[in-house]
Chains A and B, each alone.
Chain A
């Protein structure tokens, strides 16, 4: 199982600068980031190499942060890569609540991060379908 950090932030200049500054000073590496916003505020999701440490650091700076389990699954970096995973999930009636991805090695591998309601269930389905699900360390090894 992998972890991501969700951070509550107002939609105004300087918010990402502040968060990334704290992470940089503490030698925490970022793999991916997504931002969603509505009504003047938003949620920033961060995938980092030391999630627990990053979470504690942000908290100590009074930044509302939340440590959350996600599924990180290896995806082929070629047409149909995402479709293959989405198909498995849909066939099993699993709804994707949020997802984002990043390429690890162009033309070969990328990683898809997904959030679903029942993570362990979805993970075992993906694994039984022959897909590789990563934990925190593994995300950074690839």
Chain B
């Protein structure tokens, strides 16, 4: 029933004690890092006086910009020789964010993911086909190590290459898949187009959906397509990656593992705590990690929490699906993208004019990114082939930055609609 019964069903009092012990340790580790040492000094914080979750409010939150400014070692609390792995955000123009892990960090993270997988019914005899990309992205490796920790046979196939995915599903009779929701729907269609039935010709009975916010409706469609249960999960690389929060068999909210994180859900403007059911930004403090302690990290993800205890018996806080973002980041085919990354690329190309527009849509379960780019009248060179080359150059430079290929369309200057003089940069027509 449980992977770690004692910790998963811990009483509120015991949890509080455990969290306070781990917070104390975390603050000691944080004080070893250049970033927090400076922050504590500037804000006149004595970390030893921060004892409870409520005391956390005296510490200013940490933002993604802070993590960038701390590149490369600002958040490292152990000697580099103790580090066995790093994960990093994508992006070539901006400074990346880097998270370091010691061997015991990885062991704890693997346990966290194993616990999450166990919660939705994955067992040692399962065959796990991991369709997330491996590498710096935490989705692939994070889930991989968790599944191995659990003892399931793990197929590190990675993302994409649908024909090969289908071949493995068929020949190894994979029972569990980890997949981006939009790709799950696409894959089920591809399976059908090969004359196979995803429900009866395969053995998939658990689908782990991740890396992309999605709605209950999308989950239902994935479940119907494969005739399997699909479970939502939540994670972000700054907080390890997958396994921060996971649904249980009841599929009503995700349990956020409170022995790993202190959770706050706050009004994103004034940072005051939200009531149950009230949408707010998730703020997380790592309390079970040594190499890279992060205090009060502003995830910018919006969700609410449930007050009622979960029938599954787990006492860890249940949060809703991610309902949106407190900033303008969007997720495209599982890749986190900020409009600013696109803007930086475009504005470094001399032929590009003042305005551009990003339009996201979905056709046949495939996400499409169209970028309309105004060209500069004075740099127009008169010939169609030159325009085609410009369009290709813009496409290639964008792909190098955002790792996905957009459809670039050149438009006349002054034709993109603006609102009160301010350009509308992002239009997301996708239905979650």
A→B interface (CB under 8 Å): 6, 8-10, 36-43, 59, 62-66, 68, 97-98
Q: For B313, list chain A residues within 8 Å (CB).
A: none
Query: Complex: how many Å from CA A63 to CA B378?
Result: 9
Q: Are A39 and B412 in contact (CB under 8 A)?
A: no
Which of A37, A39, A66 touches B391 (beta carbons < 8 Å)? A39
Q: Are A65 and B388 in contact (CB under 8 A)?
A: no
21 contacts between A and B (CB under 8 A): A8-B380, A8-B387, A8-B410, A8-B412, A9-B412, A10-B411, A10-B415, A37-B384, A38-B384, A41-B387, A42-B384, A43-B384, A62-B377, A62-B412, A63-B412, A64-B413, A65-B380, A66-B380, A66-B382, A68-B382, A97-B383
Considering the complex, which residues of chain B in the window 372-402 have a beta carbon less than 8 Å from any beta carbon of chain A?
Answer: 375-377, 380-384, 387-388, 391
Q: Is B414's beta carbon under 8 Å from chain A? A: yes
Smallest beta-carbon distance A68→chain B, Å:
5
Query: Complex: how many Å from CA A98 to CA B414?
Result: 29
Q: Is B186's beta carbon under 8 Å from chain A? A: no
Q: For B196, list chain A residues within 8 Å (CB).
A: none
Q: For A43, list chain B residues within 8 Å (CB).
A: 382-384, 387
Query: Complex: how many Å from CA A64 to CA B388?
Result: 16
Q: For A42, list chain B residues within 8 Å (CB).
A: 384
Query: Complex: how many Å from CA A38 to CA B391?
Result: 11
Q: For A98, list chain B residues within 8 Å (CB).
A: 383
Q: Is B409's beta carbon under 8 Å from chain A? A: yes
Q: For B411, list chain A residues within 8 Å (CB).
A: 10, 41
Smallest beta-carbon distance A9→chain B, Å:
7
In the A-B complex, the 8 residue pairs with the smallest Cβ-Cβ separation, listed nearest first, are: A66-B382, A6-B382, A64-B380, A64-B377, A43-B384, A41-B410, A40-B409, A36-B384
Q: For B381, list chain A residues within 8 Å (CB).
A: 66
Q: For A97, list chain B residues within 8 Å (CB).
A: 383
Smallest beta-carbon distance B261→chain A, Å:
47
Query: Complex: how many Å from CA A64 to CA B374?
Result: 10
Q: Are B413 and A62 in contact (CB under 8 A)?
A: yes
* Residue of B with least CB distance to A67: B382
Query: Complex: how many Å from CA A64 to CA B412?
Result: 7
Q: Are B377 and A59 in contact (CB under 8 A)?
A: yes
Q: Are A65 and B377 in contact (CB under 8 A)?
A: yes
Q: For B384, list chain A residues within 8 Å (CB).
A: 36-38, 42-43
* Residue of B with least CB distance to A98: B383
Query: Complex: how many Å from CA A78 to CA B197?
Result: 66
Which of B377, B380, B412 touches A10 (beta carbons < 8 Å)? B412
Query: Complex: how many Å from CA A5 to CA B388?
Result: 19
Q: For B410, list chain A residues within 8 Å (CB).
A: 8, 10, 39-41
* Given A8-B387, A41-B410, A41-B411, 13 extra CB contacts under 8 A: A8-B377, A10-B412, A36-B384, A39-B388, A39-B391, A43-B387, A59-B377, A64-B376, A64-B380, A64-B413, A66-B380, A66-B381, A97-B383
Query: Complex: how many Å from CA A38 to CA B409?
Result: 10
Query: Complex: how many Å from CA A64 to CA B92?
Result: 32
Smallest beta-carbon distance A22→chain B, Å:
14
